[in-house]
Structure formats: structure tokens, C-alpha cells
Amino acid sequence: MSALPKLNATPKHEMVIPSTGKTVMFRPYLVKEEKILLMAFESQDEKTSMKAMLDTIDACVEGDYVKSKLTTFDIEYMFTQIRGKSVGESIDVKLTCSECKKQTEMNINLADINVDVPEVDKLIQLTDTISVELQYPPFKTFIDNFKEGVEDTEFGFTVIRECMAAVINGEERIDVSEVSKKEIDDFVESMSNEQLQSITKFVESIPALKKDIEYDCSSCGHHNKITLQGIQDFFT
């Protein structure tokens, strides 16, 4: 008996990981991966959906990258690129008018959606001798720490903790990954409000999938200017 033929040669495409600038190759996802994604999205469980996106990227991307170090905006961008080559280069989104609250459907080309990663100072001086070296938190942080009903303040402190790569004390560099969570929490809680705000500003500037859109409402004609930001705005 002859074996069944392979249906697809899985074409390869290039993309650049936003946080590192490294080029990797990827293929479109197949029915087996799409099935898992659809089941995850239909569950309406955010943690399940996040994990499904990360697993899809891991299955479809090959090259020099570390899965556990991919940031939130890496995942958003990479998933969008894979999705574009898998099921279509454009998506329909429903936009709500700021005037009449009615919805207008628009078609958006996924190739036009980008992530701008600004040049920012990742070394924050807290005192004359102590500074903090910051990093963009990995997407895995959100998967590991996300839970329904968590308070914004609690989750915010988790993100701040994960943004800290090292503490510089004079000539000594202390890698945060080598100290306990309690020590990190004690360090953060010992900050003044001004010192904490300097780190919070970095957290608030974390890049995201983003597109500015202008359109006239199909119901009342009002001219709207909106920004779609984050993967939920594009795929919900």
C-alpha cells in the first residue's frame, strides 16, 4: 500500500524579531496548529490563548532565538506575521465611533502593522551609588503570573520586578535572577515614590503592536482618529 502524499511544501518566510533585530525564518501554521489556536481562542481564557500563541511561534519559527526571552511585543508581531502568511494578509476589524457609538468595519493589511522599538536608557540611577539595569519583560512572565481577578497593582509590581535585570551597587553588579523574589520585593518596597516612578515610566513605554487609523463613521459620518494597540485590538 502506498503512503499518503504530503500536501504542502511549507514555504519559508523571513521576519525580524523586534527586541533583538535578529532575522529568523518561519512557515505558515498548518491545520493541526490552527485547530489548537481556535480552541484556545474559543475558550475565552486569556492565559490559554497566550500559551497557544507562544506554542504556535515555537512550532513555526526556526533560527537563532530563545523562546523564553521573547517579549510581549515580539510575540504580538511574530504571531501577526505568521497569521498573515497562514490565513490571509488582511483582517476585518470593527471600530466604534466616538460620537454615535455605532460600529464600522474596516479591512487592515497585516503587513502595515508594526512595532516601533524606541531607543531608551535602560540604566536608571536611583541614588549616587545605586542604579537599576532594566529589560523588557519576557512574554513568559505574563503567562506564568496572569490569573483572573488579579489586582492591577499586584500585577504591576510583578511586571516591575520582571523588568529589573540587575542592580548596580557601586562597582558590584547583582544579577536579579540570582536573588530571591523576597529580596527583590523588599528592594522595590524600599524605594521612594520618585524612584519607583522612574522605573514605572520604563514599564509604561514597553512597545506594542500598534496602528493609527482615521476613518469616517458609516452611520453618522463623524471623522474618527483611533489607535489600535496590542494583539487584542486586532484579533477580537
Nearest to 91 by CA among 71, 74, 113: 113
Question: What pLDDT sits at residue 25?
Answer: 94
State the DSSP H helix or E strand holding residue 140, giving kind and residue range, or none if neither.
Answer: helix 139-145
pTM: 0.82
Q: Is the pLDDT of residue 234 over 90?
A: no
Strand 61-62, strand 90-96: pairing:
unpaired
Nearest to 98 by CA among 215, 234, 233, 229: 215
Radius of gyration of the chain (CA): 21
With H, G, I as helix, E, B as strand and everything else as coil, classify residue 125: strand
Average of per-residue pLDDT across 182-209: 92
Average of per-residue pLDDT across 150-175: 86
- Residue range 8-59, pLDDT digits in tens: 556 789 999 999 999 999 999 988 888 988 888 888 777 788 889 999 999 9
Question: What pLDDT sits at residue 150?
Answer: 58
Contact 137, 204 (CB under 8 A): no
Kindly provide the b/e burial profile for residues 11-30, where b requires at least 16 CB atoms within 10 angstroms of the residue's own CB. eeeebebbbbeeebebbbbe
142's CB contacts (< 8 A; 6+ apart) are 50, 72
Question: What pLDDT sits at residue 10?
Answer: 65
Per domain, the residue ranges of the chain are: 13-115+208-234, 123-204
d(CA 17, CA 23): 6
Name the average pLDDT for the chain: 87
d(CA 178, CA 39): 38
What percent of the chain has a predicted confidence (pLDDT) above 70?
A: 92
Band (pLDDT 50/70/90 cuts) for residue 132 is very high
What percent of the chain has a predicted confidence (pLDDT) above 90?
A: 50
Q: Is the pLDDT of residue 116 over 80?
A: yes
Q: Is the pLDDT of residue 178 over 60?
A: yes
